[in-house]
Amino acid sequence: ALDIELDEGEVAELRALVVLQERRGERIGEHLVRAAEAWARARGAKILILRTSVTRPDAHRFYERVGFVQTRTART
């Protein structure tokens, strides 16, 4: 599943990316991220951001592996 939104301006937000546990390791998530990047770029976005729970260290490792950089941590 993939949920991406582009508001006014040059920032797109990747709001949800979920790959079934039994399909992880098949690079599906990486392909979805690349598709989201291409979608956002084609619509004029210069930045793609995402938010993920601090309770999901596996997701953090995945996003870092595909090129995202953690810039902030919030506990709300």
Full-model pTM: 0.82
pLDDT at 32: 94
Percent of the chain with pLDDT over 90: 51
Q: What are phi and psi of 30, to 5 degrees?
A: -60, -45
Query: Mean per-residue pLDDT for 32-38?
Result: 94
* DSSP string for the chain: -EEEEE-SSSEEEEEEE---GGGTTSSHHHHHHHHHHHHHHHTT-SEEEE---TT-HHHHHHHHHTT---------
3-7, 35-39, 62-66: least confident range: 3-7
Average pLDDT score over the chain: 88
pLDDT at 48: 92
pLDDT at 73: 81
